[in-house]
Structure 1
């Protein structure tokens, strides 16, 4: 009888069994865990540098994060990818620089320890660093799709870096940023960031060719048309359940903003949803943490662009100024209602072409007679501070200021100037999702988008030309 070949090895789901990793890195402790990734603090054996080992259990997320970080590896305000490990029968493990805290912790410390205040100079320095990171992403055609305070990691010496690119997309061939493009505000890399005068490390790229770190990648390597992922050189044993058919991104509903809760009375905790890709690999509207999600996503758009990150920036900046989230919706419908209650009615006048959004004719709200306005939300802030938020939190994506435009804004270039990094107050640990967990390393909770109708009271189904609507009483 012919001898049968041994069965293929099963996935270990544990970084401790990976000899190729443990031979190079001493694993110190697990600093975060979720449904799709585990993150460990580790020490590189060759030089004792502290790193983060991110073991990603979801194939698509790992692909996106590696691809985006390779395109952005020269950017001082983007987390640095040292190398990665990925074999056909194991999960990807990303070796990232270790950053001990995040912007959510800064705001939490300000509320609890710093007399409810971040100084104007500190606010400006944080804004400058965020803008430089987002500008680098957008110059390289990377849309992050999940910008929020807990994804803005901070080194012990105050350098802020954008992290968690698991939902990112490279929309076009990137136009790489010149080496001197980041000198306007004279930032220095963090101590964990490898500098360009060190010998580069060569590791295999996604297509099998060597990738030279600390130098720019060729543009041909980084082309990705929307979500049409090239997977021929990746592990073949992908579980079909790692991608979810994308249904309606927002609820079919008719309601009035008076039915919605006061946007300033919500509990302060970040919520997130799993990113989804439809069967054709096209962009999905169900991405990003709800509180920072642009209105075009809430109305079901799948043809959005870099501007969704600019809306998220506006929400982050507003929170930096007030230490409270500006749109803390507890469902997609509630999120839209909070936005409309502050910014006013969504019409062709304020957003030409909005009627063509997939769910515009399905979701309707009563007319907002007296919008709250951003000025009322940003109490005791200067007109220039209100204006910089207004330049981002506008309905029409084409009207949102770009990161580069805001870097040139007079607000950031007049007294008081951004403080130097050494003057920033930096908390010792992450702050948004529990004292003992690292926020960037926690995975997203799979919320049932807009299935929580009970919070609005009784509802009535009505047949319409678009199918049906739900009216909340």
Structure 2
């Protein structure tokens, strides 16, 4: 960090803090992302390495560029190009939404960034206004840039049976399959977020402002219809709770009708068709990245080509008449005269204060989830270390017990051998009257008097003779 001078704090995320800095040598403003935890933390290290790898792979004008990465005192720092503000700040300045031309330009630039990611089989998984950077003015040279690839994932390098986490993306921009708890989703979750961003740019209000995952799914289904089939990813996880999520009534294309009622004063039919194509409930029916790039809504934009998409959204061709057609409104009203129109969900406008509070809650929840993940990883490491120590202790006790048993067996064998030798010697003495190695009293030598009884008798007679001779002499 000696190379950069800290000028202020840009923002704070789940894993780190973004600082506004200045290069002391060149004077160039940069954004430095400083990670909170030490590089030894497994969750932070995994997220950091993934973000660096993805950013080095993606080099495009609408994706924020990574200038360098370095470590200092065990913490990793990422240096990015500096962009002064994000779309959330733009929406706070213009609570009524942006001009349709500006909405179209920002959406096109976001589509190009997402398409470049998907072309490399990378899913971002966290597209929201805070992660979309724009310049200080709204000129045509002001490019939108997608940032924060901490949740990004390259699907080709993932193992076939490796599940994906469903807790990604901020709730308001989370696709239905994520709300349903799917672990096998794909690139289509980013298309859903693009449609949500486009709607929020149009009128300044979140398209689906849910208070919880269940409430979010309820608002989405009420607005876009219940087109989830048995093959929709994640359907069996939560959709079976019919008491919480009742089945909605059928409608020809409730989603298009809802979008038309809400945005038709500002958006034309091409824009509505594009938004509807990105907001299909079934991810298999959403526009691919080729389909988004070639959509007629962006005709005339820089880099637009009229290449046909890989698949079309079937809801578009049935529910929407060609643009500038006088019979489009009449067809929508009279095609199904027996079908009653359903009112759009009643959602009160979200004030700037409420928006900030909800953003703060979402960020706090993301930080709490990150801390819980880190704590769980640390606890898992401690448990594994304790298990290894317990296993080593058990093995040591087993070895000691085996050594004691071996020594005891050796002592028992020696005792039995000695006992057998003594018994054999005793039996030999009993049989032959002699033998070596006798024990007890039989091992001691016999008294000399017992071996020479005759010597004792001769000595007694000699004593008696000498006594008698002395007596006679005295007499």
Q: TM-score range by the shorter chain?
A: 0.5 to 0.7
Instruction: Indicate the SS of the match to 1:367.
Output: coil
**How many residue pairs end up in the alignment?**
301
Q: 2:263 aligns with which of 378, 383, 401?
A: 378
> Shift of the alpha carbon at 1:281?
6.6
TM-score by length of 2: 0.57
- Cross-structure match for 2:280: 394
CA contact (8 A) 2:97 2:200 kept: no
- The alpha-carbon distance between structure 1 residues 128 and 284, as it changes in their structure 2 partners (threshold 3 A), is same
Alpha-carbon deviation of 1:159?
1.1
Match of 2:151 in 1: 167
Return the alpha-carbon distance in structure 1 between the equivalents of residues 364 and 297 of structure 2.
35
Q: Distance in 2 between matches of 1:390 and 1:56?
A: 38
Equivalent residues of 1:105, 1:432 under 8 A apart: no
Q: 1:446 to 1:387 in 2, by over 3 A?
A: same
Return closer, same or farther for 1:117/1:39 CA change in 2, 3 Å cut-off: closer
Q: Given the alignment, which residue of 350, 362, 365 partners 2:245?
A: 365
Q: Given the two structures, how large is their TM-score scaled by the length of structure 1?
A: 0.58
Please say if residues 107 and 194 of structure 2, whose CA atoms lie closer than 8 Å, have aligned partners that are also in contact: no
- Partners of 1:69 and 1:444 in 2: CA distance: 25
Q: 1:38 to 1:93 in 2, by over 3 A?
A: same
> Aligned residue for 1:317?
198
Equivalent residue in structure 2 for 1:68, among 54, 78, 82: 54
Equivalence map 1:138-217=2 (5 Å):
138-156=118-136, 158-172=142-156
Number of the residue aligned with 1:293 = 174
**Retained in 2: the 8 A contact 1:314–1:393?**
yes
CA RMSD of aligned residues (A): 3.2
CA distance in 2, matches of 1:326, 1:339: 9
1:412 alignment counterpart: 298
1:82 aligns with 2:90: no
For the 8 Å contact 2:19–2:32, the answer to whether it is kept is: yes
Q: More helix per residue: 1 or 2?
A: 2
Once the two structures are superposed, residues 404-435 of structure 1 have per-residue CA deviations (whole angstroms, 9 ceiling, x without a partner) of 32222112115xx68xxxxxxxxxxxx98999
Structure 2 unaligned residues grouped into runs of 5+? 37-43, 303-350, 370-475
Residue aligning to 2:115: 135
Which protein is richer in strand relative to its size? 1
Conserved 8 A contact 2:177-2:232: no
Structure having the higher Rg: 2
The 1:40–1:281 alpha-carbon spacing in structure 2 relative to 1, beyond 3 Å, is farther
CA positional deviation for 1:355 = 7.5
- Is 24-33 or 331-340 further displaced after alignment? 24-33
Structure 2 counterpart SS, 1:388: helix
Helix, strand or coil for the counterpart of 2:107?
Answer: helix
State whether residues 210 and 219 of structure 2, in contact with CA within 8 Å, keep that contact through their aligned partners in structure 1. Answer: yes
